[in-house]
Structure 1
Amino acid sequence: MSDIVIQAEGLVKSFKGFRAVDGLDLTIERGMIYGFLGPNGCGKTTAIRMLTGLLTPTQGSVEVLGLSVPKDAEALKYKIGYMTQAFSLYGDLTVLENLNFMGTVYGLTRAQRKERIAEVMDRYELTQLGDRFAGKMSGGQRQRLALAAAVLHGPQLLFLDEPTSAVDPESRRHFWEQLFDLVDEGTSIVVTTHFMDEAERCHKIAIMEAGQKRLDGTPGALMSAMGANVVEIEAPNLRDIRRHLLGTEGIVTAAQLGARLRVLVKDTIPDPEGFLKSNPQTASATIVEQVRPNLEDVFVTATGEGRQ
């Protein structure tokens, strides 16, 4: 069995001349959570739909689990699970009816459906909700039902498109623990998100902007090699300091976080703390200290004005 679950080269998808995905190369290894991080409209969902065989690429080649996509999309659907961003099950069917229907779609026998439905309902805390109409469920309950349906047939590879966008922080945290349980059992996962804390949970991520992959790698490696140092400033006039620094050579960006200003200084400046302390605008600062970068800092340096 190959260690590579997805191999894509030069993937392009155009809609009436607009390139939603532009030259995407991917190598995704088995047994990991690989995340697409980026804002709405950056091409994450379009990429996922091409990888699942739901969209035909304008250019490029894709292999998923050793199958050529979209040519082998029909065979692929039995090996993958797909949880869409919007709840896509039937609101006028009960939990049991939805799961039974999905089991039929995936070709499970009646005995297999009975066994697997009982397993996923227990695992995702749906046992007491079997007769509940999906349309009457809370956001967290619908999320659990959607995940149960996506893994009902035991897929090797699971695609999740912004799966936690409509749930509370506690449900998000619990959901991610469930994903790691699946990985521990051998499932590989591809997930899209615009939440930085979720991206940091992934084994590897691709940062997307305007249909292109700007960076990819482990979160730790990307933070270590982002091309800027992070310095936090505490001062009484942070808004004035920020406005001045944004026009200063060597400053990537500055953003206020509570009582501190978080400043990204290009790594071509050898002493970022000294550089800021020597600036007349920061003379009133009580604290100027270099801190550990986070994934949001990486995203800022890799996209938009941060790339300039």
Structure 2
Amino acid sequence: MGETKTDSAFYALIDWGTSSFRLWLVDENGSVLAQSRSDEGMMYASENGFLETLERHLALSGASFDLPVVISGMAGARQGWKEAPYIALPSALSGMAAQSVKVEHGARDIRILPGMAQKKPESPNVMRGEETQLAGIANSMPTGLVCMPGTHCKWVELKDNAVTELTSFMTGEIFSVLSKNSILKHAMEANAEFDAQNPVFLRAMRQALEEPGQVFSMFFSIRAGQLLGFEQVDEGAAHLSGLLIGAEIAAAKQIYGTGKAGLVASDRLNALYLPVMQEAGFTVTLFDGEDAVRTGLLTAAKQIKAHAGNIK
């Protein structure tokens, strides 16, 4: 039988979120040889089996029975596959591989990377998965402020490839809750599409940037504006998104000030956050979130491979 494309695989890299699963088979240079993705995140795997889910995707990708695996994200949470304890801040990004935990499984070496925790009574915080993205952009941005939008948006300060400060905003989750489980659900059109040039989004984000302390009083205006004929139902999502993102960035500006900042997310979220950050006074460098997590996982894989005897 001839050699297949995946015979040169170096590692299987896994980003395992709460509701998503992404796998890449890569060679030692990081070139993607095969990939598999689904919505079989931690919530699915905790009921249907983490090992079974992983092995099925590995088989679909053509992975050998002994190809090593490195995982980041919610598979390492307390309610996940096997808990990978948080590393306390400040913490060097290069230390994650050494504190990975091993899942015993035959000939396959499976490691789960830890998250990071800010253990301050006045501002406790945690992240799990985002630290791997940070490791992936470390060569380009070893020091500075980084914004990572998502369900729970993270703003992180880096210094010399170490995480020193962390702030979380529940922006994505609040959007979901308000748009689905509040009076504002009547002001939202399912699957409404908009971008950062939408005039309703622009107006809302500017209001929130200028008066972030008033944003709670602005939410009901979405519903009222439609009842009074000032806006249409297909503009509701843009209005709510503009208020939430504007308020988040205004708060981050108050905490960290402005200046240079990295922005790490999907193309969709990068495109929404970029103009708001620029309007607030940030000079932004864009990074693709998927590229960042894959690079961070590959970096950890190489460290694990090089120091296998010292990582338990």
The TM-score, its normalising length taken from structure 1, stands at 0.28
Larger strand proportion of the pair: 1
Larger helix proportion of the pair: 2
Instruction: From the CA coordinates, give the structure whose radius of gyration is larger.
Output: 1
